[in-house]
Structure 1
Amino acid sequence: MTEFTKFHQLLHDQIANEFYASQQYIAVATYFDNHDMPQLAQLFYRQAVEERNHAMMIVQYFLDRDMDVEIPGVPAPNNTFEDYQAPIKLALQQEKTVTQQIVDLAKSARDTGDYLGEQFMQWFLKEQVEEVATMTTLLTIAERCKGNLFDLENFVEREFNGPATPDPTAPPVAGGVV
């Protein structure tokens, strides 16, 4: 068994953070589905699966390192939003928070001399740049559309809801990619 370090504890905590992000994105997607915005709903349902897969990448990392892993519970997500921009603002803030968590994880791995852990975190750092950029763009377009949800839906369909292309550099997902 590999020794459990501070980095490993933070990484274990990140499993809960990723599952929480997944649940929050399901709540956001459901909000958009309930308000007849299918393109935004599709984007956030897909984001929810992506966050779930991130959690399972971490699970697989622990399994590959011959370390015990426990699946944590998560708090209930926010299900109430004042308008169509509020869930997007929440998503952007969530991605910024996750980015800081990932940076802290990478720093912890480096500080403890865990080169395997540091290498594992590199993909997540790259991923967070993309996630924050996507949510920043989405919020900018939502603000520019000034309530014209037809334009916002068309933008999301055109720019974000194309066919997904698998990332061959992504870490393996326990149980396989969903």
Structure 2
Amino acid sequence: MSSFQALMQEQVRNEFTASQQYIGIAVWFDGQDLPQLAAHFYRQSLEERNHAMMLVQYMLDREMQVTIPGVEVKPVNFQQVTDPIVAALEQEKEVTAQIEKLFRAAREEGDVIGEQFIQWFLKEQVEEVASTSTLLTVAERAGDNWFHLEDYLARETVGDEGADASAPAVAGGAL
């Protein structure tokens, strides 16, 4: 198994872990009676799940071995409205570094098809980090009035919500 293939398998786990963390964040917001924030992070969870399944479909198409791994458990005991958003931003920056590593591995191995596939994920990470950074800025400005953040999410579109016609195919179909 090449380094790129091993990293692809690892990235499936990373994306499912991100999906699971977003579910935890969404549930926390639901428990705080913040439905707009909860809905946003439920959608983010589905988007991360779809990213994992894009990787799976690519590996199936390239006749690579695919194993669906367990996920890392991330803490979801937050105190302030900004805490889960900070966790989400840290996670998106971590995923960006992981995707960059995948890209470099494909390039070093001369896997031009793999390199081309990963380019979509690089573009996606720019959007993910930017939209999460904006959400954090708005949350910080909202201060103790969490409903300002709810109002912001009710009237603004944050991120592309996974709607990208150039996205790779999702194994089993996108949710």
Using the size of structure 2 for normalisation, the TM-score is 0.96
1:45 equivalent in structure 2: 42
Q: Percent identity?
A: 56
Q: What is the letter of the counterpart of residue 118 of structure 1?
A: E
Q: Distance in 2 between matches of 1:129 and 1:75?
A: 24
Equivalences for 1:104-115 in 2 at 5 Å?
104-115=101-112
Residue deviations 1:58-80 (CA, integer Å, cap 9, x gap):
00001000111000001222121
Q: Does 1:7 align with 2:7?
A: no
Q: Distance in 2 between matches of 1:66 and 1:159?
A: 41
Q: Does 1:119 align with 2:137?
A: no
Residue deviations 1:78-123 (CA, integer Å, cap 9, x gap):
1211211100000000000000000111011001100010000000
Equivalences for 1:80-119 in 2 at 5 Å?
80-119=77-116
2:69 equivalent in structure 1: 72
Moved over 2 A (4+): 160-166
Q: Does 1:137 align with 2:134?
A: yes
CA contact (8 A) 2:76 2:84 kept: no
Residue deviations 1:23-66 (CA, integer Å, cap 9, x gap):
00000000000000000000000000000000000000010001
Q: Distance in 2 between matches of 1:148 and 1:33?
A: 16
Root mean square deviation, CA, Å: 1.5
1:147 equivalent in structure 2: 144
Q: Using a 3 Å threshold, how does the CA distance of structure 1 residues 99 and 164 change in structure 2: closer, same or farther?
A: closer
Q: Distance in 1 between matches of 2:57 and 2:159?
A: 28
Q: Distance in 2 between matches of 1:165 and 1:174?
A: 15
The equivalent position to 1:36 in structure 2, one of 33, 36, 44, is 33
Offset of residue 165 of structure 1: 6.9
Q: Which ranges of structure 1 fall in alignment gaps of 5 or more residues?
A: none
CA contact (8 A) 1:39 1:161 kept: no
SS at match of 1:80: coil
CA contact (8 A) 2:26 2:42 kept: yes
